[in-house]
Structure formats: structure tokens, C-alpha cells
């Protein structure tokens, strides 16, 4: 819905706000993991269940992508072994961030 609104240059404020909140929640997970592990720099962290839907290895728009990206930013190592035939770096790009950021 947000993409359609953007395509027609319509500012759908409520949808954009929801998308911002959803992204903020995903980013906060990075901080939660960092706090739970007492820092993540230099650590190898295995993440399971990265696919968006059960019983699939489809990484498109997976809510775990920001977690993995955030852990990489904090200089931790997140191996891509075991992610199925789609590696994280092959996941399709997420929707563009055009809502106030």
C-alpha cells in the first residue's frame, strides 16, 4: 500500500509512521542482542530461523536482515552457513527507506 501511495506521490502518513515504527523495532533488536551478550564486537553469533516464513529459505524482506546488518556494523561475525541456498548477501534488497529518514 505504501509503495502504491509513493508511486502516485501521495503522502500516506499513517502507513509511513507504521513503517518507521516497524523499522525502529527491528533496529532495537540489535541493541537487545548486544546488551544480552555483553557486547558483540569480535564475537561470532549464529542466528537461526532467518527466513521470513516457516519452511522456506526466502529472505526477501526478512525482518532479520536489519539484525544481521546491525551486528555486522558492530563488528561481530554472523556466518551465512546454514541459511539454505540463499545466502544473506544474495537476499533481494528491502523496500526503499523513503519515509522520513
pTM: 0.63
The tens-digit pLDDT sequence of the chain (101 residues) is 778 878 888 888 888 888 889 889 988 999 999 999 999 999 999 887 776 666 766 676 777 888 888 999 999 988 765 554 454 555 544 444 443 44
Q: Are 92 and 60 in contact (CB under 8 A)?
A: yes
b/e burial code for range 49-84 (CB count within 10 A of at least 16 → b)? ebbeeeeeeebeebebbbbbbbbeebebebeeeebe
Q: What is the per-residue pLDDT for 98?
A: 40
Q: What is the per-residue pLDDT for 37?
A: 94
Task: Please tell me the distance from the alpha carbon of residue 13 to that of residue 47, in angstroms, as a whole number.
Answer: 34
Q: Domains of the chain: which residue ranges?
A: 29-90
Amino acid at each position: 500500500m505504501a509503495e502504491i501511495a509513493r508511486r502516485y506521490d501521495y503522502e500516506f502518513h499513517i502507513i509511513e509512521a507504521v513503517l518507521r515504527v516497524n523499522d525502529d523495532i527491528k533496529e532495537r533488536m540489535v541493541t537487545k542482542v548486544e546488551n544480552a551478550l555483553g557486547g558483540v564486537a569480535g564475537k561470532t553469533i549464529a542466528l537461526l530461523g532467518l527466513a521470513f516464513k516457516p519452511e522456506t529459505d526466502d529472505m526477501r524482506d526478512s525482518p532479520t536482515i536489519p539484525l544481521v546488518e546491525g551486528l555486522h556494523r558492530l563488528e561481530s561475525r554472523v556466518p551465512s552457513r546454514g541459511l539454505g541456498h540463499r545466502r544473506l548477501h544474495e537476499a533481494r534488497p528491502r523496500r526503499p527507506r523513503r519515509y522520513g529518514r
